[in-house]
Amino acid sequence: MLVVACPGQGAQSPGMLAPWLELPVVAESIGRASEVTGLDLVAHGTTSDADTIRDTAVAQPLLVASALASLRAVLDLDASARLGAATGVDVAAGHSVGELAAAAVAGVLSDDEALALVAVRGAAMARAAAAMPTGMAAVLGGDAAEVLAALEQHRLVPANVNGGGQVVAAGALDDLAAFAAAPPARARVVPLQVAGAFHTSYMQPAVAELEAAATGIVPADPDATLLTNSDGSVVTDGARALALVVAQVANPVRWDLCCETMLELGVTGLLEVAPGGVLTGLARRTLPGVETVAVKTPADLDAARDLVRRHAGTSSTESPQEQSS
């Protein structure tokens, strides 16, 4: 059973699309994504510097467009074909903004719908982040209970619980600095280069903007198994899937629970679409026995296609029941 995993913000790097744009399907997909988002994603994926593509309003559309275009290259699909189970994908999951790409992978949204929403999401989150000095920091190692207790003591939120001993703290910059000055035992704190405290109540204004943009979309029910960051459960209703993606902007990402569900489902292979690397790194610590391929450049296409050939289409007939959030 194959899961397609779509990475989140922070996975981008300067020039990451340069080799991909030599492929006609990717060039067409990114060109279309530029039209939908109103951003020159070709330039941002080839010549823009690290500071430019770190901007939330740029990074998020760039990541979703890259994920969808690279998957089309892996599956040999033209830019107009709708994604979904018919393409051989068993399970779809995305980390943070990657959830919008995963919704398209599962057939809930079209590429254009996912891209239109991510343009709103990125710009709205950038505006919300600018309203107050907030940030995020990765907490690596330490006792899980002690880490969570220390975060609460410093008025911080575990915005991403990624598994494998990795939690991302978010909140006011002063509180983050105090936490970093006295971290829990055996824990290392690494400040992240992001604009604000994503997946916390600080992002509530962005939720309202994204919710308004989503009202014009009629989502389809997923035709591949779709996991939600809210609690790792399987979502079977398209309207609920879209509502969860909207609400997730101001709520923690539970990637650890998504990984637990992958194991319950019997996932045997994980394909991380471009710009791959982060989620496959986590998978090595959280998904024992699951074969992984990270799609970083077109040089990875043969390995990705081989993984799809050997693992896709082997779904079990029973899935964990959808849970309420």
Alpha helix (H) ranges present in 215-277?
238-247, 255-265
Distance CA 153, CA 62 (A): 36
C-alpha distances in angstroms, 60 versus 9, 17, 71, 92, 311?
Answer: 6, 14, 17, 18, 29
pLDDT (average), residues 269-297: 96
The model carries a pTM of: 0.93
Structure tokens at 148: 């969570």
**Of 199, 230, 233, 311, which is the active-site residue?**
199
Arithmetic mean of pLDDT over the chain:
94
Q: What are the b/e assignments for 44-56, b being 16+ CB within 10 Å?
A: bbbebeeeebbbb
* Cα–Cα distance for residue pair 97/110, rounded to 1 Å: 16
> 3-class SS at 161?
strand
Res 323: pLDDT: 34
Q: What is the pLDDT of residues 286-319, one digit of tens each?
A: 999 999 999 999 999 999 999 999 999 875 434 4
* pLDDT > 70: percent of the chain: 96
Q: What are the extents of the domains in the chain? A: 2-129+201-311, 131-191
pLDDT of residue 299: 98
Give the mean pLDDT of 174-202: 94
Answer yes or no: is pLDDT of 83 > 90. no
Phi, psi (deg, nearest 5) at residue 161:
-110, 100
pLDDT of residue 78: 87
**pLDDT, tens digit, for every residue of 7-55?**
999 899 999 999 999 999 999 999 999 999 999 999 999 999 999 999 9
- In the chain, where does DSSP find H-type helix? 24-37, 41-44, 50-54, 56-75, 98-105, 111-130, 144-153, 173-181, 204-214, 238-247, 255-265, 278-286, 301-311
Q: Which of 34, 96, 230, 233 is catalytic?
A: 96
What does the pLDDT read at residue 86?
66
Superfamily of domain 131-191: Malonyl-CoA ACP transacylase, ACP-binding (3.30.70.250)
Topology given in CATH for the domain delimited by 2-129+201-311: Malonyl-Coenzyme A Acyl Carrier Protein; domain 2 (3.40.366)
Question: Which is it for strands 269-272 and 291-294: parallel, antiparallel or unpaired?
Answer: parallel
Closest to 192 in 3D by CA, of 164, 161, 212, 168? 168
> What does the pLDDT read at residue 321?
40
Known catalytic residue at 154:
no
Whether 240 shows a pLDDT value over 80: the answer reads yes
